[in-house]
Amino acid sequence: MSRTTIASIATATVLFLSTAASAQFENPDLKSRKIVVKTAVILPPDVKVLKSGVKGSEELVEEERKIEGTLPPIIGAVMQERHCSADGNSLNSAALEKDQELKYAVADLQKRFDELFPQLRRKPKDIRKGRFTLGDEVAKLNPSGATDALVFVRGFGQSNTGGKVFLSALAGVSVFSGAVFHVVVVDARTGVVLYYGESVQPQDPVKNPAKTQKAIDRSFKNFPGK
């Protein structure tokens, strides 16, 4: 990966971490229980983690994959507490490699979500007005109509080296090690965004993986059903 790309990721990560705060936003139909989510499918999470050191930053690809692998079962357990069965396996990497058509459909929808995501971040309160949707493309992942919702996950984290922490302390500057997770629940039939939760994990996501579950649980704080 080029230094320019790493620098771009670093800038985006710092921005996400510096502006993030735990918050939840529900579509009015979900809040009123006009729409009830009983079944969901979790799309492959996308997590970016940087290691920040004295000489610069680098992306921790292996650690990213590990965190991504732990998220579906965590989300499944959290949603189960809210009486929703969430499937984290039918769209995992192994399943997608066996079905190329499904793989491309998932990739297209992930791209569409990434185009919408900045708008969600800028005006999350508009979710309460039902203004965001991915469109009817979601039907490609729900041809039978049996699934109520699709779950999208994005994560951004930073892990600091001991040297960076030490030198920063000497300089009287605080450095942040932690992560922010964004969970978005979308109606699997219409594409309407039903729920958006974000939360900060204030510990190093690489060194403290057990803290991730608490962060995800906070993301679903206002999700109906518990």
DSSP 21: -
What tokens does 76 get?
């499944």
d(CA 32, CA 108): 31
Element (H, E) at 75: helix 61-80
Q: Give me the pLDDT at residue 36, please.
A: 95
pLDDT (tens digit, 9 = 90+) per residue, 140-187? 999 999 999 999 999 998 877 777 665 666 666 666 677 889 999 999
- Residue 81 reports pLDDT greater than 60: yes
Element (H, E) at 180: strand 178-187
- Residue 13 reports pLDDT greater than 80: no
Upper half-sphere CA count for residue 204 (Cβ side, 13 Å): 14
CB count in 10 Å sphere of residue 18: 9
- Residue 131 reports pLDDT greater than 90: yes
For the chain, which domains are there?
3-219 (3.30.160)
Quickly state the pLDDT bin for 114 (edges 50, 70, 90). very high
Dihedral sign for Cα atoms in the order 133, 88, 104, 61: positive
What tokens does 156 get?
């951004």
- Residue 73 reports pLDDT greater than 90: yes
Q: Beta 178-187 vs 193-201: how paired, if at all?
A: antiparallel
Cα–Cα nearest to 150, from 115, 185, 118, 175: 185
**Residue found under tokens 């009830």:** 36
Average pLDDT of span 199-206: 77
Average pLDDT of span 96-105: 93
Q: Beta 39-42 vs 85-87: how paired, if at all?
A: parallel
**Residue found under tokens 């459909």:** 105
Q: In terms of pLDDT, which residue wins out, 9 or 63?
A: 63
Upper half-sphere CA count for residue 208 (Cβ side, 13 Å): 17
Q: Give me the pLDDT at residue 175, please.
A: 67
- Residue 72 reports pLDDT greater than 70: yes
Average pLDDT of span 92-107: 93
Region of poorest pLDDT, from 18-32, 113-127, 161-175, 189-203: 161-175
Q: Give me the pLDDT at residue 224, please.
A: 92
